Structure 1
Amino acid sequence: MNSTKTIVITGSQTGMGLSTKQLLEKNGSKVIGVSNSGDPEITADLSTKEGVDYAVSEIIRLSNGQIDGIFANAGVDSENVELVFDLNYFGITRMLESLQPYLKKSNNSRVVINASNSVVITPGIPEEVVDALLNFEKEKAIQLIKSNPHYVYQVSKTAIAKWARQNAHKAEWAGNNISMNIIAPGVVLTPLIEHDMKDPRKAAGINMLPKPIGEIAKPDNIAPLVKFLLLDDSRFIIGQYIIIDGGTEVLWREKDSPKTWDISFDDFQKL
């Protein structure tokens, strides 16, 4: 184990962020936590441009300009559309793109983005809103989501997962030995879920989810996967959307994946 690894974790003071921080520190890593509450190494509001820019400058200072990994974990589920889009999508992309040159210096760095299994178990996510976010058309996305207000969280998580998939293989990332992946937890007993359980509509949806493994995950069940992707010999895993939900998705969609490639050989040769 390389005890000199420097890892950044956003949303580091509760839930999956805190459990991962504790596990990585136990394994010898230096962790720079970023949060807007508690007592992190950096206090910043990552839903604002100013907050992200401040966090980036402090991360560079505290890491001496070399970062070995980032767990982009901070997220929110709220009726405040702009807040959800700003934190779950724009804040993550801005931070990762700003820190990419410093990840590059490591020559073997990792990025893990915390998305959600809701991306693949929620029917009818409006793709036009996802596409607007991917095109960084924030105002268009806000206008489009008004006809589907209950999809705000799922849209934001779908967009960040697709952004990672569309960028992970590129020269700027994989070509610079930065391995970027997405984890997709199901229901995890975090403050976010505890908050959602107070909403009768959301609580009903959470309670109806199947639990093949028999229970709801705790943050400590997710942290080992993040550790593997950040610290262990996982360099060749790139651009993958890894579901960790106790079997919910596979129970509902066992026949949907893996999906064969519906492309002609002639089109394949043109790639």
Structure 2
Amino acid sequence: MSRTHVITGAASGIGKSTAELLTQRGDRVIGVDLRGADVNVDLSTPEGRSELVDRVTDLSDGVIDTIIANAGLATPTATTVAVNFFGTVATLTGLRHLLAASSAPRAVATASMASLFPPDDALLEALTAEDEPRAMERASELEAAGGDAASQIYGTTKRALARWIRRNAITPDWAGAGIPLNAIAPGVVKTPMTEAFTGTEEARTAILKTVPMPLNGIFEPRDAAYLLAWLVSTENAHLCGQVIFIDGGSDAVIRGDSTW
């Protein structure tokens, strides 16, 4: 039976590959992005998030089977905070009610192995509290500082998102409603967002020193798409609050035994 998926960040990278894969399998995809999608909205803004819900509701006739909250930025800017955390959370919570009529509702977000990097504690605290004004103020301070301070923005947003997934997946709104909520945490993927890190051999060598990927190294977005497709499939009925690292081994290298 065909399923209806909502995919944010669908115009490029992992989102585009996932949309293509699911369409090839006979499913319907409602793509969301800044431009070039079925729904063109800016998830960094409250207005864009509200429009997302309205447009998807109209296009789906009020019923969807899955949410793939994949949209994200990797820039050392405050906008990355608005999109990666608040835009993702708004996507999941805003569209959740449209899953109610599905016989097998599923939801997944895209985090990152960068969630393992040391965060900015003040930004992380604000994100965990879901305090957008305070988070944006701190992110603006980090952006203005530049350098290592600004570089903490991306990883901090992804750590906060992983926390949000794990904390909310077990609640009545998600597990209690029969909706598996999980996330993937990719390593370095060849996408337009990572061109600066993957475009040359020199750049690839440099990034792999920071993000060790002993199993097959940097990979194509289609590989992440296969994992996302399974997580929103009917076969996945019991994963709950998991952040699955598809990273060529960087999690195992960096964390080792620490989680056990």
TM-score, normalising length: structure 2: 0.90
Q: CA shift at 1:104, angstroms?
A: 2.1
Q: Distance in 1 between matches of 2:114 and 2:130?
A: 22
Contact 1:53 1:95 in 2 (8 A): no
- The aligned residue for residue 13 of structure 2 is 15
Q: Which whole-Å deviations, capped at 9, do the CAs of 1:12-39 have from their partners, x for residues lacking one?
A: 011100110111111121000001122x
Q: Distance in 2 between matches of 1:136 and 1:248?
A: 28
Q: Distance in 1 between matches of 2:72 and 2:40?
A: 15
Q: Distance in 1 between matches of 2:196 and 2:47?
A: 27
- The aligned residue for residue 145 of structure 2 is none
Match of 1:241 among 240, 243, 250: 243
Where do 5+ consecutive residues of structure 2 fail to align? 143-148
Q: CA shift at 1:197, angstroms?
A: 5.6
Q: Distance in 2 between matches of 1:166 and 1:174?
A: 11
- The aligned residue for residue 265 of structure 1 is none
Q: Which whole-Å deviations, capped at 9, do the CAs of 1:206-257 have from their partners, x for residues lacking one?
A: 2413231233111011111001001141110011010000112212322223
Q: CA shift at 1:86, angstroms?
A: 0.9
Where do 5+ consecutive residues of structure 1 fail to align? 260-271
Structure of higher CA gyration radius: 1
Structure 2 SS opposite 1:106: coil
**Is 1:95 aligned with 2:96?**
no
- The aligned residue for residue 45 of structure 2 is 48
- The aligned residue for residue 120 of structure 2 is 126
Contact 1:104 1:177 in 2 (8 A): no
Percentage of matched positions with identical amino acids? 35
Q: Which whole-Å deviations, capped at 9, do the CAs of 1:136-156 have from their partners, x for residues lacking one?
A: 222322444536322100111
Matched residue count? 250
4+ residue runs of structure 1 moved beyond 6 angstroms?
none
Structure 1 SS opposite 2:207: helix
Q: Distance in 2 between matches of 1:13 and 1:113?
A: 16
- The aligned residue for residue 220 of structure 2 is 218
Q: CA shift at 1:109, angstroms?
A: 0.7
Q: CA shift at 1:205, angstroms?
A: 5.4
Contact 1:107 1:177 in 2 (8 A): no
- Deviating more after overlay: 211-220 vs 6-15: 211-220
Contact 1:104 1:178 in 2 (8 A): no
- The aligned residue for residue 206 of structure 1 is 207
Structure 2 SS opposite 1:235: coil
2:53 alignment partner AA: V
**Is 1:169 aligned with 2:163?**
no
Aligned-residue RMSD, C-alpha: 2.0
1:18 alignment partner AA: K
**Is 1:27 aligned with 2:21?**
no
Task: Classify 1:46/1:141 alpha carbon distance in 2 versus 1 (closer, same or farther; 3 Å).
Answer: closer
Q: Which whole-Å deviations, capped at 9, do the CAs of 1:158-188 have from their partners, x for residues lacking one?
A: 1111111111111111111111001000000
1:105 alignment partner AA: A
Q: Which whole-Å deviations, capped at 9, do the CAs of 1:190-214 have from their partners, x for residues lacking one?
A: 111004568xxx9775241323123
**Is 1:75 aligned with 2:37?**
no
